[in-house]
Amino acid sequence: MATRLQPARHNQLVLDCPLPLDSGAAVASPAIAYEAYGRLNDARDNAILICHALTMDQYVASTHPVTGKPGWWAKVVRPGGVIDTDRYHVICANVIGSCMGSSGPASDDPGSGQPYAMRFPVVTIGDMVRAQAMLLDRLGIARLHAVVGGSMGGMQALAWAAHYPDRVDRALIIASAARHSAQNIAFHEVGRQAIMADPNWRGGDYYASGEPPTKGLAVARMAAHITYLSEAGLTEKFGRQLQDREAKTFGFDADFQVESYLRHQGISFVDRFDANSYLYITRAMDYFDLGDPHGGRLADAFRQSPVRFGLVSFDSDWLYPTAESRRIVQALHAAGAQASFVELSSPFGHDAFLLDSPELWRLISGFIEAGR
Amino acid sequence: MATRLQPARHNQLVLDCPLPLDSGAAVASPAIAYEAYGRLNDARDNAILICHALTMDQYVASTHPVTGKPGWWAKVVRPGGVIDTDRYHVICANVIGSCMGSSGPASDDPGSGQPYAMRFPVVTIGDMVRAQAMLLDRLGIARLHAVVGGSMGGMQALAWAAHYPDRVDRALIIASAARHSAQNIAFHEVGRQAIMADPNWRGGDYYASGEPPTKGLAVARMAAHITYLSEAGLTEKFGRQLQDREAKTFGFDADFQVESYLRHQGISFVDRFDANSYLYITRAMDYFDLGDPHGGRLADAFRQSPVRFGLVSFDSDWLYPTAESRRIVQALHAAGAQASFVELSSPFGHDAFLLDSPELWRLISGFIEAGR
């Protein structure tokens, strides 16, 4: 297990003005790291913003600088692909609070020259989206052809449509929700407690120690990872199969394949992710509730919205179940907005949106091309 | 947070012979702690064995010596109750591997005079049941009118019927399964990793330190606790309600009631439970698969069984879902055994079997009285 995150260079833009936050605080000179693919056309109307999920990043279609793996949606975003970079200018920005080049708890506080750690202000999904809007301002992109995201990316796509309805032609929200449920919050809280219980966490000030709270972060990742998979998917993939052995060892090694798999998920995660960022981003997700400023009336967040909405859920996703997507669609229809919705069948649970899914890809393509 | 388990006196019987284990090892002079209620009649045919769940204990109907709380099923097991102690002799024994008076990792190894810690042999559900059978031998109880259990208690009731069909008239299995699924194993593995990640765990040898791995155990409990509740139940009970505050604090305190509740579940658990016992008992549950010795054919574990079986599941229980109970019933019918099955409706998930449920209580009462 590596003891600290490997440094990596990212394409960054440092804003010359503060980023105001929903909390009332601000990030003084926010850095926003992003990747871009394809050419912005002369009319500047072919930009698509892709919003990433909790532990993903801007490397949607380029090799990850730490893991060396292909981009997380490299099969979708490519020349001639479902999101065709020969025709669209695709942007993906690391969210504020994360650890891949955008300002977050691991960044240096310009005031002290030391990492912010837990002195970084708490951010929200709305703040992530505001940072992206400021980035697009700097890039001279007034309006998006589409904003697309799965999971927490879907929350950002929803927030984009709610807060900047005139800058978004269409919003595609995949395997997501307009608010975090009590169960969602509970799982995140377990992860946060696992990190904070690690003595290496040191109240967040572990950057100088060279000993980040990798064990706590690995446990957090393991707990979360179970929620990304379905019970049926786990059974199909692992069942009760033993790991490289004929019989149970009557010990505490990883006898079962599913144990070995989970341990690997935990251990490999800590090489590419900052524990404090995990705290901040999970908090942002827990705080997310688009209906809250409207007394719980989600429709009021989208009254007469000109945005075209597309929603996709997966039937085996128990983290953001179909009912949450349906609730959004009902609110959008009540608000007089244009919204289509498809529930896809998949055995793979929440993770399905990241996997090879020709059905999903056809939906994405159709939604992006519609009316062009 | 208390730093170590409070000592308590338990009614104990120390066997004068070793307890042979499924692993091939043995526990030299096993102690079995138990509570008994009601009088054993002269015919010795009115004994009911209640088997407890993972973190429960023998204090089914008597005040818990550590927490001072009433027995976990005190409303069910009482004079004139659903399981009527005026008519039945009710026994509940602490499982082998646990920490309430029966031999487990916190017990002293007679060889060294020091706590076994991780030198205690790995035990199985079958071993727990074998220890109970030896206890009943000593108590002069050849045959049980009924064996009853929920969750891991249901696994023991099933194992009783499979291994001692001639000693059990009827077996009632509530909210349980005949094997642990990949998802079940995964959640347990997260809990074990949380404990082992706590530096206070010290490879299990923390008893002399006065500093048990309470933080890791609390995280394990929190993760497990989410699985005991349903998403709908959590939403109904907590939703997104804030804890004693008007607005979000934009910090990492327990803003939401569900966070505060979970933290309390974690913190209070460590005062009454031993972390190593948690490792051992979760392992026993993960190893449980009654069909495994029969090439996966569960029915072969119950061929022509004379035992009358009753099974109950709850529709919102996603830890041991109805499908697992149905699988057992199908196997029992295929084996030519007598089995009845009811799925109850409840919003409370797996925990429903411990809560006030007149419907469940009527089923228990009817099953125990049938044919008397």
Encode pLDDT of A134-176 as tens digits: 999 999 999 999 999 999 999 999 999 999 999 999 999 999 9
Mean pLDDT of A63-88: 97
Mutate to test the interface with B, among A23, A127, A190, A211 (most CBs of B within 10 A): A190
Residues of A with active-site annotation: 151, 317, 350
Is the pLDDT assigned to residue A327 strictly greater than 60? yes
The DSSP-derived string for A88-118 is -EEEEEPPTTSSSSSSSTTSBPTTTSSB-GG
Could you give the ipTM of this predicted complex? 0.95
- What mean pLDDT, rounded, does chain B reach? 96
Q: What is the pLDDT of residue A154?
A: 98
DSSP B15: -
Is the CB of residue A321 less than 8 Å from the CB of residue A313? Answer: yes
Q: What is the pLDDT of residue A7?
A: 64
Determine, for residues B219 and A193 on separate chains, whether the beta-carbon distance falls below 8 Å: yes
Determine, for residues A189 and B223 on separate chains, whether the beta-carbon distance falls below 8 Å: no
Residues of A in contact with B324 (CB under 8 A): none
Q: Give CA separation, B64 vs B2, B278, B326, B349, in Å.
A: 17, 18, 34, 25
Binding residues of B: 221, 351
Q: Place A3 in a pLDDT band, splitting at 50, 70 and 90.
A: very low
Determine, for residues A182 and B289 on separate chains, whether the beta-carbon distance falls below 8 Å: no
Is the CB of residue A138 less than 8 Å from the CB of residue A13? Answer: yes
pLDDT tens-place string over residues B289-325: 999 999 999 999 999 999 999 999 999 999 999 999 9
Is the CB of residue A175 less than 8 Å from the CB of residue A352? Answer: yes
Give CA–CA dist B35/B8, Å, rounded: 14
CA distance B334 to chain A (A): 23
Q: In chain B, which stretches have pLDDT less than 70? A: 1-7, 372
Regarding the domain with residue range A12-182+289-369, which homologous superfamily does it belong to in the CATH classification? Alpha/Beta hydrolase fold, catalytic domain (3.40.50.1820)
Amino acid, single-letter form, for residue A67: T
Q: What is the pLDDT of residue A6?
A: 61
* Count of other CB atoms within 10 angstroms of residue A1: 10
Give yes or no for B45 touching A (CB within 8 A). Answer: no
Closest CB to A234: pick one of B183, B190, B193. B183
SS3 A310: strand
Mean pLDDT of A295-300: 96
pLDDT tens-place string over residues A53-72: 999 999 999 999 999 999 99
Is the CB of residue A78 less than 8 Å from the CB of residue A257? Answer: no
Q: What is the pLDDT of residue B202?
A: 98
Q: Where do the structural domains in chain A lie, given as residue ranges?
A: 12-182+289-369, 185-281
Q: Give CA separation, A197 vs A189, A217, B224, B260, in Å.
A: 12, 10, 17, 16
pLDDT tens-place string over residues A12-48: 999 999 999 999 999 999 999 999 999 999 999 999 9
Q: Is A221 annotated as a binding residue?
A: yes
Q: What is the pLDDT of residue B1?
A: 39
Q: Place A9 in a pLDDT band, splitting at 50, 70 and 90.
A: confident
CA distance A249 to chain B (A): 8
Q: Is domain B12-181+283-369 classified as CATH 3.40.50.1820?
A: yes
Give yes or no for B295 touching A (CB within 8 A). Answer: no
Give CA–CA dist A24/A40, Å, rounded: 34
Q: What is the pLDDT of residue B4?
A: 53
Give CA–CA dist A203/A189, Å, rounded: 16
pLDDT tens-place string over residues A203-259: 999 999 999 999 999 999 999 999 999 999 999 999 999 998 889 999 999 999 999
Q: What is the pLDDT of residue B8?
A: 73
Q: What is the pLDDT of residue B213?
A: 98
Closest CB to B182: pick one of A215, A240, A292. A240
pLDDT tens-place string over residues B247-294: 999 999 999 999 999 999 999 999 999 999 999 999 999 999 999 999
| Portion of chain A with pLDDT greater than 90, in percent | 95
SS3 A331: helix
Phi, psi of B47 (to 5 degrees): -90, 135
Count Cα atoms within 13 angstroms, Cβ side, for A35. Answer: 26
Q: Give CA separation, B215 vs A193, B220, B249, B258, B268, in Å.
A: 9, 9, 24, 19, 11
CA distance A234 to chain B (A): 6
Give yes or no for A118 touching B (CB within 8 A). Answer: yes
Residues of A in contact with B181 (CB under 8 A): 231, 234-235, 240
- What mean pLDDT, rounded, does chain A reach? 96
Determine, for residues B235 and A181 on separate chains, whether the beta-carbon distance falls below 8 Å: yes
SS3 A242: strand
Q: What is the pLDDT of residue B7?
A: 64
The reply to whether B151 belongs to the active site is yes
Give the lowest-confidence range in A269-273, A338-342, B7-11, B179-183. B7-11
Give CA–CA dist A274/A97, Å, rounded: 10
SS3 A254: coil
CA distance B264 to chain A (A): 12
Q: What is the pLDDT of residue B3?
A: 44
Q: Is domain A185-281 classified as CATH 1.10.1740.110?
A: yes
